């Protein structure tokens, strides 16, 4: 399996864990897991384009994607808002879908 596929698989797993945590009223964990999901999806995208990053900031990762990848305002806003459990899960989902779309 290619490395970016491992990162995407882990992103999906973290997003599922975030949903479970939010459903159990563990919002602090849901936020953390949603952030992790989005971070891993973006790292999958970066790796799929032949680069690598050790940065953990979603906003930084988005602003440092290869020049040929455009990022909508909606995705930029999602990166800034990963601080509310339900919003975080929704935004992480959007970022994962964005990364998958750009990889394929």
**Range of the structural domain that residue 71 is part of:** 3-103
Distances in whole angstroms, Cα of residue 92 to Cα of each of 20, 25, 50: 14, 18, 23
**Structure pTM?**
0.83
pLDDT on residue 81? 81
Q: What pLDDT digit, counting tens, does each position of 3-59 carry? A: 999 999 999 999 999 999 999 999 989 999 999 999 999 999 999 999 998 888 888
pLDDT on residue 1? 58
Report how many domains make up the chain. 1
- Alpha-carbon distance of 75 to 39, in angstroms, equals 13
Is 92:30 a contact under the CB 8 Å cutoff? no
The CATH number given to whatever domain includes residue 24 is 1.20.120.330
């Amino acid at each position: 399996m290619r490395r970016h596929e491992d990162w995407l698989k882990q992103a999906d797993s973290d997003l599922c864990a975030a949903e479970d945590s939010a459903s159990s009223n563990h919002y602090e964990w849901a936020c953390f897991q949603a952030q992790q999901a989005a971070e891993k999806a973006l790292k999958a995208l970066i790796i799929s384009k032949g680069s690598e990053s050790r940065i953990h900031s979603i906003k930084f990762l988005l602003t440092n994607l290869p020049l040929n990848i455009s990022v909508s305002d909606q995705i930029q806003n999602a990166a800034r808002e990963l601080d509310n459990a339900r919003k975080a899960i929704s935004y992480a989902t959007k970022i994962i879908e964005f990364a998958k779309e750009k990889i394929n």
